[in-house]
Each structure stands twice: as structure tokens, then as C-alpha cells.
Chains A and B, each alone.
Chain A
Amino acid sequence: MAATAPTIPGTATPGTIPPVRRRRPRMGAYALLVPATVLIAVALGYPLVRQFRISFQEYGLKQQFGAAPEWVGLQNYTDLLSDSYVWTVIARSIAFCLVNAAVTMLIGVALAVLMQRVGRGARITLQVSLLLAWGTPVLASMTVWQWLFDTQNGVINWTLANVFGLDSWAHHSWIIQPLSFFFVATVIVVWMSVPFVAFSVYAGLLQVPEETMEAAQLDGASPRQRFWGITIPMIRPVLSIVLLLQVIWDLKVFTQIYTLQRAGAPTRDTNLLGTLIYSYSKDFGTAGALATIMLVITLALTGFYIRQMLKEDEL
């Protein structure tokens, strides 16, 4: 599910140890953890293990009607990785993920800084508007954006043709060409994701102590120096976790791509990893292998980062 939230781990005050309860037996704590642990193990852990196992099996239609799954070793992986189309999709997914994460971060941070620098009225206007976008259900957003980009009566085509005088755009079909399909997808994903980034970063900015900034000002640091030299390093923990989450979410993006494809885009040219896995839903072995590959890619993109974060974080 796509909305974990800003956890700002680096800001944990070092040295706070949870209070010790002396009189209770230790088992009490474990007992409290049991329900949550069991539920996560059953609904997340077990499917994960199972997916990994099945990725080494032939598990197609025959097996779904009762035949025993057949162990095929790395067959599913070699089949996938020797298919140049799969590589295209992987490359496309990574590119989409990085572009979206970068654009979202840039706009999100810019808006956070903007919130800090404007008057109360303008700030609240901006915040309410971002909250509205944040709170809108994904599917509702998707339908609105499809309507905005609609070929016949979409307001975007109308604006391009009538306000900017670009008549050739009057009945432009946005999702037929892969490149413009991904442009539309990016606009939508960024529109949805920026509020989360902006609010998290804004919360981080508020934690930068006033005194530090004043001291730097007295020492002759220019606003620009103060921003890059003090603000950015101080909110780095927030920035890293938010960026991390963006990369993870944008890599596994599914709903937006899927609904746009259903709107009539050529599936093969617009598949990303999520929709490609979905398209193998009759062949569990291949789907499992591809999902595992996706997990590996995620870890490759984020692993170093997570390690770094855990090192710095005081749990």
C-alpha cells in the first residue's frame, strides 16, 4: 500500500532509553508483540517466502487445476533474463522511478521552502490545496486526470489549442505514444506524491533551530550559504527517508500505469515492472521470479541507503 509516512528517524534524540518496568515478568512484552507479529508473518512474510519458492517452480494453469508443481531450478529466471523485452521493462521502470522521484523531491522541497518563506495566508492556501490533492483517493485522481487529458473534450488540449494557439494539439491523444504516456503518468504521480514530500520536509524545516540560523547570519553567512550549509544538512535525515520512500513507491507503481493502460494505451509499450508482473498472473512461477527480481532491484537501489540510515539512526 502506498502511503507510509514521514518517519524522520535521524531526529531521534540520542540516549533516550525506554523506562524499565521492573515488576512485570519479561514474558509480558513478548505476549504483546504476538498478535502483530503473527499477522504480519501470515499475510506478508508467508507470501514472500512462498513467492520465492514458487519462483523456482513451473506453476502454470495445469498446476492451478491440481497438478503438482514441478521444480525447474533457475528456469524462470533465465527465461525472464534472456528476454530482451524484460530488460527493456526493467530499464524503463528504473528510469521512470528515478525521474519521478527526482521531480517529486525537487518540487516538494521547493514548496516546503516556499511555505516557510511566505505569509500566513499564502501558506495556508498552499497547504490546503496540497492536502486536497493528498487526500483524494488514487482512483478518483486517476479518473480526473484522464478527463483532463481527454482527447476530445479534455481541458488540457483545449488550453493548448485556444490559449497557447497550438492548434495541432486540439485533439491530441496523450496516451497512445509511449513517451507522452509516461509524461502523463509522471504528471499524475508527481501531483499525488508532492504533498507528502512537501509536508514532511516542511516539518523538518520547522525543527531547524532559529538560533543556529541567527548565529550563522551574524557570522556573515549569506542566505544561500545558510540554506545549503545549515538547513539542508540539518534536514538531511528527513530528505533521505522521503527520497527513499519515493524511490520504493515509484519503482513499484502500479495503479496509475494500469488504469492509464485500461484507458486505451498500448500495453506492451507502456508496461512497467508492476504491470508486467500482473500480466503474468496466470503463470505464478514466472510472476514470482519477476517479483523477486523487482525486490532485488529495489534493494540494489536502496540498500546502501538503508544501511546508512540504520547506522545513523538511534532506535
Chain B
Amino acid sequence: MSTISAPTTVGPAPTNVGPARLRAAKTSEAGRSQSRMSRRLLSALAVVVALAWVFPIYWMVNSAFQPLNKLQAENPAWLPIGGTISNIRRVINDGTFWQAMRTSLAVVVLVLVAALIFAFLAALAVSRFRFRGRKSFILAILVVQMIPAEGLFISQYQVLDGWGLVNKVAGLALVYTAAILPFTIWMLRGFVAGVPIELEEAGMVDGLSRVGAFFRITFPLLAPGLVAAGVFGFLQAWNEYTLALVVMTDPAQRTLPLWLQSLVESNRATDWGVVMAGSAVIAIPVIAFFLLVQGRMTSGLVSGAVKG
């Protein structure tokens, strides 16, 4: 497995420069070309690792376009040349796919609306106010994230069952929202704290009301934070499997991951092309979305941590 051979790069490649004193820092021509060489080697290594890492995804897309006889041929077909779109067509002509899509979308929308509003209010409280219990609340937010929530699934099922929320979009959305809220609050807290209160106060000096100042000045500056938190929530709710498996037992209420698993189970060892098409159809929109906004997201994560 080339994908796991990477640990050999731990630590910097020794660039036999030795203890570099100020004088030695005037690199000789030989030393410079040496470090250029090692840089080039490292770059090559990085590209090799990148290719190895992305291969499974390439293989998913490639196989999605292969007809069955090529998938079962003696030698793998490395390129989707002479491919077929019949696998993809089979997936999107499947009514259960669209049913699962509707369920997934409904869950995601509910989760996003609830999580963003609630987290935003809480983030506002912890970063704009000082009150008794503020520290404990932040601590609780951190600790809740540490609880192995997956050990809870049976108990969560029972609770939802008691309220008649099993096999209901609302039920699944409820447990998802609770699962992502702590982190969303943590993330937004950094963004809110990043907007100086002085800006708002200046607005108020210029005649805006407190609420007006908040919505006219602070809120627009928080947009990237909300986007980042929204993306995080979207990915969680879209991709989650375990809780969905426990809560959505009715095949008519499947989310997309559950639908995919059932597709695998009915086609395993018979037609991997359809399975790969199903995977690709679910994964590609998410991947595209993720790539599009990830820069914002990472900066959001970091700012959540850096700004108290």
C-alpha cells in the first residue's frame, strides 16, 4: 500500500548543513544546489503522496463510467475511455435515490437553520457579554465535544422513540443539531470576537440604535463565519451514517448514506459500476462544495481558537 508508506518522511530530510553559524549561513554554491535538490526531491515526494491519496477517488469516478464487462475483465481498465453513462443513468432513474435525496435535503436544511441560529445566539452571549457561568459554559462546550456521542446511539434512539420521532426527519435533525452545536458555537465565537465592539459603538455614535448597529455593522462582517459554520454543519448532516442507521429504520425514510449502503448490499460482487456511480453521485457535489469553501472554513477554525 503506497498510501501508508509516508511515515518515512517524518522529520525534515537531513540537509547536511551542520550547525550553521552566521558565517556558514553564506551558503556556498554547492550547498545551495544541494538544498535545491532536496527541495525538488521533497516536491516529487509530495506529488507522489498526493497521487496515492487521490487514487481511490479517481477510481470511484473511473469505475462509475465502466461497463460491467470491463470491470470484470482480467486487467483493470485504467481510463474511462470508451466508457458508458449507463451506470449513472441507472442511479438517477432510480426513484429511491430521489426519495433519499429529499430526506437528506430536508434533514440538512432543518439542521442548518436550527444550528446556525442557536449557535449564533450562544456565540454572541459568550463573546459579547461577561456573566457568571460564562467560563463554565465554554468549558462545557469543549467537554461535550469529547463525549463519545456514538456510544449514545441506542439511548438516543429510545428517547426519540418515546417522543414518536423515530423515522421522522425532525427526530434525526434534532440529534444532528445537538451533535454539531457545540463545535458551531466554538467556531462562531471566534468570529464574533473578531469584530471589534468599537465598530458597533462608532455606529451608535453616528446615530444607529444598538440593534441597528449590530445588524448594519457587525452582522455583515460575520458572514464568512456563518458560511464556514454552515458548511461544517452541511457536511456533517449530509455524510452522517451511524445515527441515521439507528433512527431511520424505515426504508422509505432513508438518507443518502443509508441508500448507498443498501445499493452496495444489493449489488456487491455483481455490479460495482452501479455502486461506484451511486458513490460518485453522492460524493461529487459534496467534494466540489467542500473545495469551494474550505479556505474560509480553515480560517474559521483557526480564528475560533485564536480569538478569546
Contact = CB atoms under 8 A, between A and B. Distances in A.
B308 interface: yes
Interface in B49-85: 49-51, 53-54, 56-57, 59-60, 63, 71-73, 75-76
Interface stretch (B86-94, B171-179, B218-226): B171-179
A40 B286 contact: no
Interface in B236-267: 236, 238-243, 245-246, 256-257, 260-261, 264-265
Given A7-B304, A35-B117, A125-B47, A137 B53 contact: no
Contact of A20 (B46, B130, B135, B280): B130
Contact of B122 (A33, A131, A281): A33
Interface string A188-229: 001100100001100100000000000001101111100110
Contacts of A51: 152, 154-155
Contact of B19 (A44, A123, A221): A221
A188 B174 CA distance: 29
Contact of B46 (A114, A274, A277): A114
A118 B46 contact: yes
Contacts of B153: 277-278
Interface string A133-172: 1111111110111111010110110100010000000000
A226 B127 CA distance: 37
A191 B181 CA distance: 26
Question: Chain B interface: which size bin?
Answer: 35 or more
A157 to B, nearest CB: 10
Interface string B24-51: 0100000000000001001111110111
B20 A18 contact: no
Given A224-B14, A255-B242, A11 B47 contact: no
Interface residues of A, number: 128
A3 B124 contact: no
A113 B185 CA distance: 30
Interface of B: 1, 3-4, 6-12, 14-15, 17-22, 25, 39, 42-47, 49-51, 53-54, 56-57, 59-60, 63, 71-73, 75-76, 114, 117-119, 121-122, 124-131, 134-135, 137-139, 142-159, 174-183, 185-187, 193, 197, 210, 232, 235-236, 238-243, 245-246, 256-257, 260-261, 264-265, 268-269, 272, 275-276, 278-280, 282-283, 286-287, 289-291, 294, 298, 301-302, 304-308
15 contacts: A1-B243, A24-B129, A29-B134, A39-B114, A39-B118, A44-B179, A47-B152, A50-B158, A118-B42, A129-B53, A132-B53, A137-B257, A138-B257, A224-B11, A284-B158
